[in-house]
Amino acid sequence: MADETPPVDEMHYEQLAQDALRGVIRSALERAAEPDGIPGAHHFYVTFKTKAPGVSVPPDVMAKYPDEMTVVLQHQYWDLKVEADRFSVMLKFGGLPKVLSMPYTAVTRFYDPSVQFLLQFEAPMEVEPVAAEPEADPQTPPPSTGDDGPKVVSLDQFRKK
């Protein structure tokens, strides 16, 4: 009997797919950063790991959300800056403006409930926090299914018919 070793994915296709899907988030945020803001009824729930590398959140917000938080970008957000590998936004917490900044790799969930569009990602490795995180909206996106297996995304739903 031949001893066959499983093939090694030296292309790292899963990571390439994750990076490509994070590009969808960047493109959506770029639209939101335009002078007219987010079009139509669209709005975004962005869930991220507050202790992920590169995340910057004020300490008082981080104290409230030491692991993960969800922010909502709909009507009241300011100074949205979208870069190739990260974004930052000003939100109000208790009436006070706070700036949050995070790399796309810290995002674990991106949800637009107006069209039921959801992207989920593997949680990044955590580091000790540099700052704190923003408050979550009471209307959070659906919970994770708990399926840690490979993710298959069908592009058929995005094609024009």
Residue 108 CB contacts under 8 Å (≥ 6 apart), including other chains: 47, 48, 49, 68, 120, 121, 122, 123, 124
0.85 cut: is pTM over it?
Answer: no
pLDDT digits (tens, 9 = 90+) for 56-92: 999 999 999 999 999 999 988 999 999 999 999 999 9
pLDDT digits (tens, 9 = 90+) for 26-44: 999 999 999 988 999 999 9
Binning pLDDT at 50, 70 and 90, where does residue 128 land?
A: low
Burial of 48 (0-12, 13-18, 19+ CB in 10 A): buried
